[in-house]
Structure 1
Amino acid sequence: MDLDALLPDVGEFGTYQKALLWFVLLPGVFPCGFHAYNQLFMASKPDHWCRVPELEAAQVTGEAAKRLSIPREWRDGALRYNQCRMYDRNYTALLERAQSASTLEPPSSPVPTSPATSDALTSSTAQWSSDDGGGFDSGGTTPSEVPIGLFLASYLTTPPQDTEEFATTPCKHGWSFDDSEYSSTVVIEWEMVCDHDFQPTLALVLLGVGGLIGSYIFGYIQDTLGRRPAFFIYLFINCLFGIATAFAQDFTTWTVFRFGVGFTVPAILGTPYVLAIEMVGPTKRTMCSIFSNIAYSLALVALAAVVYYVRDWRHLSLATSVPFLTFFLWWWVMPESPRWLLANGRYDEAEKVLLHMAKVNKRQLPANYMFQLKRKYLVERDTFPGDMKVDDDKRTYGVMDLFRTPNLRRKTLIITFIWFTNTSVYVGLSYYAPSLGGDEFLNFFLAGAVELPTYLFLWPAMDYLGRRWTLCSSMVVGGAACLATVLVQNNEDVTLALYCIGKMGISSSFVVLPLMATELYPTVVRGLGISTSSVVGMIGPILIPLVNYLGTEMLVLPLLVMGFLLVAGGATSLLLPETLKQHLPQTLEDGEAFGADWGPKEWLSCKIMPAKPSPSVELQQSQQQRQKVRAPRLLVQPADVTIFECDASEEALMMSKPMNHHSEKMSEI
């Protein structure tokens, strides 16, 4: 029983669907958006350098301490302090020398007066005078009043002469961190830097592994228990582990909790997205789909605002989890999908949902509405058994059905590859935003905000250019922008602009791909095909943190890898047949026949082919034309007798079939 045939009676997109969409389903995508990326900021790695307790005890900190204890190196195109090594000096002896000095012997050259050094060292009025090549002017202070930090900094203006002072060693006493951006992150708390700097990447990999497993299991739960229970089960897991993350006391526990959160990402997005599609009529599905994508982009923008104001990782974990506890109030307002209820034969529950929809939408339905629909369904099934799916002909489909025939196998492999590239690059670019340089909060905000303009021209382009060219151009333009960053890798502003173009491209393709996949996979294996492609695509979020980790030494390396993937996926999309204005394939035979004649000549064609019925539809139409069968029309229904009006061809058809309940009544009449 098709819900699309019933929605005109209850309202295809009335007040009920609008309220459900705006106040339940669209906010329902926020947990996925928040928990997919809040870990980037929990594990943010601020600038750090080796900690020297002796200098801290003498209150020598900041620039003075770094100049004394940290060697410099070329990194990211500039001379910067080393983050993992320190001078191997006897700092206690050095401090004793400074404290016991009765006079200050100036070095051979003045103390540098750069703004950074000046800010760190001018806590007193003592200055070097350059009038006599380095004389000291205490400004009226005695040597004992000159800060030790100034003396030690001046000591560094000439390189140490003995080789022991040139030697460096790994950090011995941990690290000092720049707390100007974050008050606390897991990297700061558990010192996950230098030899342990892979740990944040490992946590992201395990988050992706949890997502792959969770997506596979979620599909099963959603199809067996229903859309509504699946959402609340995953919401409970999401909130439980999200809140528990804030109380982790070590890296191992934190990683386990993050794996639990990852188990629900992106699966928890499934119910709001599917319900938004299943609760409305066919003409409104495109709009609901794009609204869901807009809501997800807004979730990223909102997360940027949250992380900007919450700089402690424990508070951030709570801020991105506790508010979603209010979503459990939706238990009393979120309906089960009537489409799923009808498909599983739960007519009474479906009737309650449909009657409530009709009431809110101000539509009148008869009290025995579902009873009449079931009777009509049974009459049609008995009258046209060739057109209905009866229990005796049921078949169980599996993943191997996607690969049994050459054309369907080719399309499955292409769709799955493009899904992998889309998932990898979308997640990769989102992960990469804070690493672009400059203000990482602004970068992440732009990563979400630049997705919004794409939706203004995306759907008109899909209707004018078709699915495949829209998908191809989105991926190629985005990939080319990512590849172009190698030419401007020392210009942060241009790199950021190219990054935004790449993000716009991948955002567009991520809207087109699911729709095109839905139109390519035949009905009998459509859900299975999309599930298979998306699960394989989840391998991307497992691998992409490793690519970003390798880009630590070369900032644009991840962009080059992701750009190559986008261009390759875009070129491959042209091998798929155009689906615009085409009938959806129903059977495996339809899926094999659809696009079987699509060859090199058509790959670069922009022509939109006229709609052509699938082979199964053509066969059904030809059979009905030959038989000239009309559905029986109900004339009279006195007591227990039903009278049907039939023509000669109908009567001959009925006589050729086994006598059923209705034909027995006709023979009696």
Structure 2
Amino acid sequence: MAFDELLQHVGDSGRFQIWNIVLCILLNIMSRSHMFVENFSAAIPAHRCYVQLLDSPIPETNVTLNMTAEVLLRVSIPMDSNHKPEQCRRFRQTQWQLLDANVSATNMTELETEPCLDGWIYDQSVFKSTIITEWDLVCDFRLMKSLSQAIYMTGLLMSVFTGIVSDSGNVESARWLIATGKTERALKELRKVAWINGKKDIAESLTIEILRSTMKEEEEPVRKHFTAMEIILNPLIRRTVFFFIILSFSTTLILVGLLLNLESLGTNLFLNQVLLGVVDFPVRVLSYFVIRHVNRRPSIMVSLFLSGSPMLVNLFVPREMSMVRLLLGMLAKASISTLFILCIVFQSEISATTLR
């Protein structure tokens, strides 16, 4: 009895497999939520310097009582190139002369400014509070957010490396246990699968002799067992592992860079998050046909190209064209999702059982 027949015998699509799929889905939901919650918990709302004249609960003079917030803002904070209040600078002195329509733009650029010495005022129309507003991680301190993301990315990429090495050398499936001669352990696992799938009689009938006959029919040498040192020293295995490390690194870098920078795709973070998630559903269907009808290397090459090129194009698309930027982001996300599936299948196909 070959292993595929043995697997069908104990059940290859029963409760055991369903529970494994459900568990993987739940773990992915929790890990992805933790991974990308920073888009919202660390969102950077619109902000400007705190100005005593405008933001103090007690007006400085009676003159300001009859002035609108827009007027007070104009004399307190300079405007940027988009004619919006500067986010990190304010006038050192109140510039009442700016209320005069005859004041030229040249004169305005010569006015003395200073950093936000008294803190910032944040727009609370979308987010009442984020870690950015709590700790004032804006302007000169904005790099602290990037630093935290860089630290997180380092840990994530290390997990990709260790995960691939682990997957390549120590995944204890029943097939792997049989191929490496661990028949007693394989018997225990197969009995557990049959028991969970409701095939108790089959679980009781499985014996060491059946597994040994399976070992003889396996195409791969059953006595060959790769140790960690053999994996490192074997040139073919080393090249295979190195290839998938580079491929996984590239894919993860594009994906995390895209999903941790949703604000670059448009002003509505919630819509961006939903659309980038919804695009995965048709991609899963498309991936099935790609796997069945397209060679691995061309499909991976095209997926890589379509993952990175939209992000490069987005560098030259103005932020005002938010719909174009979002569509390019969705194309990149769809390509990355396809690439992940192709990589998993390709790695299994080119790796021997004892290596997997």
Normalising by the smaller structure, the TM-score range is 0.7 to 0.9
User: Measured at CA, do residues 354 and 417 of structure 1 come closer, stay the same or move farther in structure 2, by a change above 3 Å?
Assistant: closer
Matches of 1:15 and 1:516, distance apart in 2: 27
Aligned to 1:369: 206
Aligned to 1:84: 88
- How much does 1:47 deviate? 0.8
- The match for 1:170 among 111, 115, 118 is 115
Structural mapping, 1:104-119, within 5 Å: none
Aligned to 1:491: 321
User: Quick check: 1:16 aligned with 2:16?
Assistant: yes
User: Measured at CA, do residues 425 and 175 of structure 1 come closer, stay the same or move farther in structure 2, by a change above 3 Å?
Assistant: same
Aligned to 2:343: 513
Matches of 1:517 and 1:467, distance apart in 2: 10
User: Measured at CA, do residues 220 and 460 of structure 1 come closer, stay the same or move farther in structure 2, by a change above 3 Å?
Assistant: closer
User: Quick check: 1:68 aligned with 2:75?
Assistant: yes
- The match for 1:502 among 301, 315, 332 is 332
Secondary structure of the corresponding residue to residue 86 of structure 1: strand
Aligned to 1:642: none
Residue 172 of structure 1 aligns with an amino acid whose one-letter code is L
Q: Which runs of 5+ in 1 are unaligned?
A: 95-106, 108-153, 228-277, 279-336, 528-669
- The match for 1:354 among 190, 205, 208 is 190
Contact between 1:89 and 1:165, CA under 8 Å: does it hold in 2? no
User: Measured at CA, do residues 494 and 181 of structure 1 come closer, stay the same or move farther in structure 2, by a change above 3 Å?
Assistant: same
Aligned to 2:252: 423
Matches of 2:7 and 2:221, distance apart in 1: 22
Secondary structure of the corresponding residue to residue 84 of structure 2: strand
Matches of 2:164 and 2:340, distance apart in 1: 20
User: Measured at CA, do residues 157 and 175 of structure 1 come closer, stay the same or move farther in structure 2, by a change above 3 Å?
Assistant: farther
Number of residue pairs matched? 344
Matches of 1:205 and 1:82, distance apart in 2: 27
Q: How does the TM-score come out when normalised to structure 1? A: 0.45
Q: CA RMSD in A?
A: 4.0
Matches of 1:173 and 1:222, distance apart in 2: 53
Matches of 1:207 and 1:47, distance apart in 2: 25
Secondary structure of the corresponding residue to residue 49 of structure 1: strand
Secondary structure of the corresponding residue to residue 36 of structure 1: helix
- After superposition, the C-alpha distances for 1:39-84 in whole angstroms (9 at most, x for unaligned) are 232211111111123432236795444223110111xxx3221111
Matches of 1:177 and 1:198, distance apart in 2: 18
- How much does 1:443 deviate? 1.0
Q: Which runs of 5+ in 2 are unaligned?
A: none
- After superposition, the C-alpha distances for 1:268-311 in whole angstroms (9 at most, x for unaligned) are xxxxxxxxxx8xxxxxxxxxxxxxxxxxxxxxxxxxxxxxxxxx
- How much does 1:159 deviate? 4.4
Secondary structure of the corresponding residue to residue 202 of structure 2: coil
- How much does 1:487 deviate? 5.7
- The match for 1:189 among 134, 138, 144 is 134
Matches of 2:167 and 2:221, distance apart in 1: 28
Contact between 1:434 and 1:441, CA under 8 Å: does it hold in 2? no
Contact between 2:254 and 2:307, CA under 8 Å: does it hold in 1? no
- After superposition, the C-alpha distances for 1:106-159 in whole angstroms (9 at most, x for unaligned) are x9xxxxxxxxxxxxxxxxxxxxxxxxxxxxxxxxxxxxxxxxxxxxxx946564
Residue 207 of structure 2 aligns with an amino acid whose one-letter code is M
Q: How does the TM-score come out when normalised to structure 2? A: 0.79
Structural mapping, 1:298-313, within 5 Å: none
Matches of 1:395 and 1:191, distance apart in 2: 48
Residue 442 of structure 1 aligns with an amino acid whose one-letter code is L
Matches of 1:191 and 1:217, distance apart in 2: 36
Contact between 1:338 and 1:350, CA under 8 Å: does it hold in 2? yes
Aligned to 2:24: 25
Matches of 1:497 and 1:86, distance apart in 2: 37
Q: Percent identity?
A: 25
User: Measured at CA, do residues 221 and 176 of structure 1 come closer, stay the same or move farther in structure 2, by a change above 3 Å?
Assistant: same
- After superposition, the C-alpha distances for 1:561-587 in whole angstroms (9 at most, x for unaligned) are xxxxxxxxxxxxxxxxxxxxxxxxxxx
Structural mapping, 1:328-477, within 5 Å: 338=174, 350-363=186-199, 364-365=201-202, 367=204, 369-373=206-210, 376=213, 387-389=221-223, 396-402=229-235, 409=239, 415-477=244-306
Contact between 2:11 and 2:197, CA under 8 Å: does it hold in 1? yes
User: Measured at CA, do residues 185 and 390 of structure 1 come closer, stay the same or move farther in structure 2, by a change above 3 Å?
Assistant: closer
- How much does 1:506 deviate? 2.0
- After superposition, the C-alpha distances for 1:341-363 in whole angstroms (9 at most, x for unaligned) are 66787766654543343244343
Contact between 2:15 and 2:196, CA under 8 Å: does it hold in 1? yes
